[in-house]
Amino acid sequence: MNKKQIPITGGFCTRLRSLSAAALGAVAITGASTALADSSLQLQDIQVNAYFSSAYVNDKGTVLYTDGGNAPLYFWTKDYGSTQISSGVCSGSRRGVNNSDQMVAWDSSQGGVALYTRTGSGYNSLYISANYYDAVINNNGVVAATTYDNYYHNYEVVTWSVTGGQQSVGYPSGSPKDWVRAIGINDSGQITGSSSMHNDDTGESFGNTWLYSSANGGSFTIIASGDPVGINSRGQVLIQNWNENRYSAKVWTPDSPNGITGSEQPIDFTGLDYLYLYSISDGGVVVGSGGTNAIYNDVTGELISSETESAVLWTANGGVQKLNDLYASLLMNQGGQGRSSMPDTGFISLDRAYAISPNGDYIVGAGTYWNGWYAIPDVGFVISGLAPQPATLAEPIVIGTSITINAQGASGNYYALYSSDIPSGPDSSWNYVAGTTGQLDQDGAASINFTNAATGPFYRLLTSKTPFDGSNINADAVVSTNTVCVPHSGDSLQLQLVGEGVDPSALNNKGQAIVTRYDSETGHNKVIVWSLGGGQVNLNISGGCWSSKKSINDSGQVFAGGQLLTPSVPNGNVFTTTHNFYNDNYLGYDSLLNNHGQIATVIREYGYDQPITWTQTGGIQRLLSGSNYISVYGINDNGQIVGRNEDQFVLWSATTGSFEYLTSGWGYTTFTGDKADINNKGQIAGTFGFVESTAAVLFENGGVNFIINAMIPHSYSYAVAVNDYGQAVGSTNVDLAGGSTALLPSYVTHAFLYSPATGVQDLNVIFASQLLTPAQQVSGTTGWVSLESAVDINEKGEILGSGQYWNGTETVYAVFALLWTPSENPSVDAATLSEPVVSGSTVTMDVLGTVGNYYALYASQNLLGNAASWSFVSGTAGQIATDGTATVTFTKSAATAEFYRLVTSASALNGTTINADAKYSTNVVGRYDVSVPAKGKAYVANQLVQTTNTVAALFDTLARGSSVAIQNGATGSMTTVTRNPVTGSWGVNGSLAVGVGTAVEVSNFATTPVTLSFSGVVATGNYSSTSIAGILTYTASPFPVSASTEDFGIVRTRSDVVIRLQPDGSALTYTVNPVNGNWGGTGAPVPNIGEGFLFRRAAAAAWSKALTLNTDSIEITW
């Protein structure tokens, strides 16, 4: 999914509110039924009398541009118009503007590259260097540039910042005398550029595009031929080539965000004679200009058609489109131009697009402008309002299993709701919630209603300028400003016993906890991972200092006692050591770990405490410190760290490593205690105080707000953890005698929960019903007596802490976990199966379902078989975990085709009998094999839905030299994609898709038969197919069923022809008798599963078939 990771705000998992049906009526679904006009689009001119020749634009709409080639440099904003900042620039050199309105460019008046910072309509200027040729800047204020050494005649790439000065980066592989240019830098510090070798004899230059990544050990990688134009935040690089006497272009996309390996996608500009591209947005949208050349009569020289030029926009899905067509409503009607006392003005055409902002909201370029009297070329324009705006979600309203989430955003934006079991999960962990697409109404509002089944508990809304289909994420999609949380239906927060005689440390969003137990034999604290379903797992490592924090992230990685341990599978119980910080002089202090695998701790260097961060790719990074008494207490996913320097509360910056002191603002400057925390919003929970008293505090955005302390009328209170919803936990002293001082002997310590909605609450009061009274503390009973401290809280509002526990004999110190727990009698819901993954003889598929439901997988070799044909797959029975997921793994049978459906129930399934309350999965998945003879051909059909259905992916088992021919459904022409006999590459056309119900002609180059294996989800609903009049059309059933052509919808007519290929490669032709209208003696053709065929009819034909499944029956019908 193309979603940005953003700070999480608002909303939290609480016990469900009970509302009446009448209350729900006020928030009924009100989505607009028809598309709304996009009123946010605007077209404005920039300095009408200037020659607009190049431009750059940031996410705020600040434009940096030149008036001619070496002409003056200006910036423009909507509020202030144009301001000149330089009398001249170096033509052809790169420039840039970031989101802080910092601009870099060559300034002829200063004789070098300068940094300009906008201040309203003015600016400040800082000279950088005379040796820089190109200079570009990212949002962190880091400048990438190219320098040239006149003595050694060497090129070099460097970076520069206000705080760090110039840093050498180096040059790509090859000679340092090659011409090197730095073209772009993104916020991850990746730099792209070109290196060219010039042939003095021919005048030709041979260019390569390189990528520099500090995360890759600080090395250069040649990623493609050609010259780069720019790089976006995901590491996509736009590249221009000079081929066959004209320019062409492509987009290089990394295999993973900001990776160094990837693939190219050519930009098809059929219908245009030329294409020049200048800029790429974070969403992969490319802008530039394209046109056609003038055409003259070869004999007379007479002009046949004039040259045309238009600003263009390209997307991976939509191809090249002209801005004049896309935004025709913003242009003047050319027929309405003319003289008048109050002449109309405006753009007639948009001729060149020079830049698109990273967020895709602005396009800047040059066009032809009508000033009321005549047309002026090369006038600067800016189109704004192009990007969707992120919406905000309200706190969910829950009635039974029905959930309503109100959304507020930009009018006319389309939306789709996604859910995940953890808020910090990767894009792949977020899944579309069925039935939740729509369009925000004229007020920018929508109410989204759905059933709490296998979704959540975390929800985010995507918004886009175009409708969502529920299957794919639109390229321009943006994520809501917040995430909301709803517990699974029937779940409630229940006290769980983690263990007696252990100490609590940390809790992740999967409900896994880290605790320690003192080992009297070794004198060390042993680290233990605990989960509700998995119990205790002893890691057999020392936890360092007794009071030091140990960490576990949402992937189940553990950092404790100086060792980073990684589970063999996410959240598993088998660990290996990734890094041991004792080799780096680890001191045994706090071990901090965030969800990106970034570590913060303290090591000993040169006799001093040295705070550090560490990542797998970047190694150790040292933080600035001001003393020899340093501790780190909390790290968030943005890399911010909170801790102490001497006795002062400090916050380390994620980007610079420097720190700032945090003060209370009301007399207390001393930081108290050895615990603090920081969430992804930058809120900090901690404690200030003196000997006489302490105060639990919650810092808000760099200031301090004593929300917590003001609500706790006790002398001692400590805040130790805070989640992204501003919920904080800790402990406070409660005076049993009714006084206000904690020095009385009658006080006890109680755990507290603070939330913005309810203020401070005593956990002993909230969960009093789960605590034992003195009368209940008798032999044979067990339970909690009091909850004394809370040390961590996750995004679900689950809490880890300690208290007093009655074990049936005595009251002991123990650790508790307050976890969302399924009810004793959970509802039964149909689960959903993922696309199967087949590796050798092993089949694996993921399950998304209702927490606590039991499941069993059933299989049939006939998709349309009766109930008796479906049998239990041995070893696939289990129970859906607390995160609503399960994984099913089994050995595939010898059958060449098999289909799978999951059965769920409220009680265990034994594989023999299907329980009376059973539900059947919302989908059915399957696999099948197709054989292609040696040196032969076969008509092969894709009859399953896959995430990736390209030629290269589906036919990867074909030998080199083999080919796949795909028919154009409109013209009947064939495109043959051949696997390179030497490299094995499928080439550019390997990315062509083979959709469900598509038949292709496969040629096997090998001297032995080859088996093609297909796996995926069976399509459901109605599918339509067509044939081309009078042409043999490649086609197939969209469903993996062996049935006659008439069974899947083709109603025969006289002279219809069907051709199949037999196993020996010979053709088998079926013809409908032109006289009696019947098939011949062979009867109607019956293609096998996975078999395509050729169909011809004199007239164009269309047919359809629907496949239906019901969650109350295992049988599938069509």
The half-sphere exposure of 1058 on its side-chain side, counting CA atoms within 13 A, is 26
In a domain, 590, yes or no: no
User: Looking at the structure, do residues 62 and 153 belong to the same domain, yes or no?
Assistant: yes
User: Looking at the structure, do residues 369 and 421 belong to the same domain, yes or no?
Assistant: no
Which residues form the domain of 248? Answer: 42-384
In a domain, 907, yes or no: yes
Number of other residues whose CB lies within 10 A of the CB of residue 154: 15
pLDDT of amino acid 217:
56
In a domain, 560, yes or no: no
In a domain, 1038, yes or no: yes
Q: What is the CATH number of the domain that holds 352?
A: 2.120.10.30
User: Looking at the structure, do residues 866 and 886 belong to the same domain, yes or no?
Assistant: yes
The whole-number mean pLDDT for each consecutive block of 10 residues of the chain, a chain of 1118 residues, reads: 30 34 22 40 83 90 83 89 83 85 87 91 91 89 86 79 85 66 90 75 67 72 89 92 72 83 88 89 91 81 81 86 89 56 76 93 94 90 90 82 86 90 77 90 88 74 89 84 78 88 91 88 82 82 67 91 85 82 69 90 82 83 76 89 82 75 55 77 81 73 56 70 90 63 59 84 90 90 94 93 94 92 73 94 93 92 96 93 87 96 91 91 97 96 95 96 95 95 92 95 96 96 93 96 94 96 90 93 93 96 93 94
Angle at 1041 between CA 1037 and CA 1047, to 5 degrees: 65
pLDDT of amino acid 305:
75
Cα-atom radius of gyration of the chain, to the nearest Å?
Answer: 33
Of 485, 506, 530, which residue is a domain's last?
A: 485
Closest CA relative to residue 377, chosen from 387, 367, 386, 385: 367
The residue behind tokens 């131009």 is 337
Check the CA dihedral 992-253-614-699 and report its sign: negative
Question: How far is Cα 508 from Cα 459, in angstroms, rounded to an integer?
Answer: 18
Question: How far is Cα 610 from Cα 592, in angstroms, rounded to an integer?
Answer: 15
Question: How far is Cα 702 from Cα 708, in angstroms, rounded to an integer?
Answer: 16
Question: How far is Cα 143 from Cα 461, in angstroms, rounded to an integer?
Answer: 35
Residues 434-437: contacts with CB under 8 Å, at least 24 apart? 434/470, 437/467, 437/468, 437/469, 437/470
In a domain, 1117, yes or no: no
Closest CA relative to residue 440, chosen from 468, 407, 473, 472: 407
Residues in contact with 627: Cβ distance below 8 Å, sequence separation at least 6, in sequence order: 609, 645, 646
User: Looking at the structure, do residues 134 and 75 belong to the same domain, yes or no?
Assistant: yes
Cα 409 to chain centroid distance, Å, stands at 21
pLDDT of amino acid 850:
85
Tokens encoding 1061: 């290929």
pLDDT of amino acid 191:
93
CA-to-CA separations, 630 to 465, 610, 611, 622, in angstroms, rounded: 50, 7, 7, 13
Question: How far is Cα 624 from Cα 644, in angstroms, rounded to an integer?
Answer: 12
Residue type, 1001: E
User: Looking at the structure, do residues 163 and 294 belong to the same domain, yes or no?
Assistant: yes
Closest CA relative to residue 219, chosen from 617, 486, 741: 617
User: Looking at the structure, do residues 193 and 97 belong to the same domain, yes or no?
Assistant: yes
In a domain, 226, yes or no: yes
Question: How far is Cα 1021 from Cα 411, in angstroms, rounded to an integer?
Answer: 32
Tokens encoding 932: 């292609």
Whether residue 352 contacts residue 53, with contact meaning beta carbons closer than 8 Å, is answered with no
Segment holding 707, helix H or strand E: helix 707-710
The residue behind tokens 């006489």 is 692
Residues in contact with 894: Cβ distance below 8 Å, sequence separation at least 6, in sequence order: none
Tokens encoding 96: 């840039």
Of 908, 923, 938, which residue is a domain's last?
A: 923
Question: How far is Cα 718 from Cα 673, in angstroms, rounded to an integer?
Answer: 8
Tokens encoding 203: 């005048």
User: Looking at the structure, do residues 213 and 327 belong to the same domain, yes or no?
Assistant: yes
| Per-residue pLDDT tens over the stretch 880-907 | 887 788 999 999 999 999 999 999 998 8
User: Looking at the structure, do residues 196 and 340 belong to the same domain, yes or no?
Assistant: yes
Q: What percent of the chain has pLDDT over 90?
A: 44
Question: How far is Cα 344 from Cα 335, in angstroms, rounded to an integer?
Answer: 12
Of 430, 459, 485, which residue is a domain's last?
A: 485
What is the reported pTM?
Answer: 0.57
Question: How far is Cα 1011 from Cα 928, in angstroms, rounded to an integer?
Answer: 10
DSSP one-letter string for 316-364: TTTEEEEHHHHTGGGS--GGG----SS---EEEEEEEEEEE-TTS-EEE
User: Looking at the structure, do residues 241 and 346 belong to the same domain, yes or no?
Assistant: yes
Question: How far is Cα 722 from Cα 697, in angstroms, rounded to an integer?
Answer: 11
User: Looking at the structure, do residues 230 and 83 belong to the same domain, yes or no?
Assistant: yes
Q: What is the CATH number of the domain that holds 845?
A: 2.60.40
Whether residue 509 contacts residue 422, with contact meaning beta carbons closer than 8 Å, is answered with yes
User: Looking at the structure, do residues 935 and 1031 belong to the same domain, yes or no?
Assistant: yes
User: Looking at the structure, do residues 1001 and 985 belong to the same domain, yes or no?
Assistant: yes
Angle at 249 between CA 244 and CA 251, to 5 degrees: 145
Residue type, 216: N
Three-state DSSP at 775 gives helix
The residue behind tokens 């289990």 is 878
In a domain, 725, yes or no: no
What are the two backbone dihedrals, phi and then psi, of residue 457, each rounded to the nearest 5 degrees? -85, 0
- Total domains, the chain: 4
Residues in contact with 346: Cβ distance below 8 Å, sequence separation at least 6, in sequence order: 43, 331, 332, 369, 370
Closest CA relative to residue 457, chosen from 484, 495, 493, 429: 484
In a domain, 156, yes or no: yes
CA-to-CA separations, 704 to 682, 697, 700, in angstroms, rounded: 12, 8, 6
pLDDT of amino acid 148:
78
